Structure 1
């Protein structure tokens, strides 16, 4: 089975949106990968996302650290995070959820996340 290039491009854009909206000034590459894995677990695509984030000026890479260059951009919980009731599994930790939190980006929707994982993924909480 071959990867759908349109799906890969969509995942890259979604992960770039996520990285551009992180509420931290600096994080380890491992922590960035933890966030990217909410979009894709494909190692090749993860490397592509990190390279593209650097090319577009979203992050600066130095050793094993990334400095974000978000310029005041962050997830607005009041308008960009939608809560839905239902049966979900958190994209970050895999726990079962009765309320899912979904982030609305221009490139698409990312989620569901639990109430604590949504804060960790966006960098609002470490």
Structure 2
């Protein structure tokens, strides 16, 4: 299933997939919003994503921090991250890219990202 970029429900699901696959045990709300903004910059959708993540048990809020409850899920770089050659702009930092990294989730594909931003978005690197 590919997410329609104009579909709010699809954006929420894609952001939830990203949060569910973070390789972090804990992050600040600002760090979570940084990741959600790779899917949407709409403040209402961002709040919906955070609320839904808590309802579904993906995240747990405590003292301004979020704890992940991923249960062993993480992005498998060998099978879930694909690279494509072309003229891209990183969804996280805005840099121009000739090679884009895309994450394939059940809810859709997220990207492109540069080689360092893909690791930051997934939590492999802070």
Q: TM-score, normalised by structure 1?
A: 0.95
Give the Cα–Cα distance (whole angstroms) in 1 for the partners of residues 44 and 65 of structure 2.
19
Q: Secondary structure at the match of 1:112?
A: strand
Give the Cα–Cα distance (whole angstroms) in 1 for the partners of residues 113 and 105 of structure 2.
15
TM-fit CA distance, 1:63: 2.6
Deviations 1:14-45 (A, max 9, x none): 00000000000000000000000000000000
Give the Cα–Cα distance (whole angstroms) in 1 for the partners of residues 23 and 116 of structure 2.
15
Q: How many residues align?
A: 122
Deviations 1:68-111 (A, max 9, x none): 00011000000000000000000000000000000000000000
Task: Name whichever of 113-122 and 60-69 sits farther off.
Answer: 60-69
Q: Where in structure 2 are the equivalents of 1:1-80 lying within 5 Å?
A: 7-80=7-80
Unaligned runs of 5+ in 2: none
Q: Which residue of 2 aligns with 1:121?
A: 121
Q: TM-score, normalised by structure 2?
A: 0.95
Q: CA RMSD in A?
A: 1.1
Give the Cα–Cα distance (whole angstroms) in 2 for the partners of residues 64 and 121 of structure 1.
20
Q: Which residue of 2 aligns with 1:89?
A: 89
Unaligned runs of 5+ in 1: none
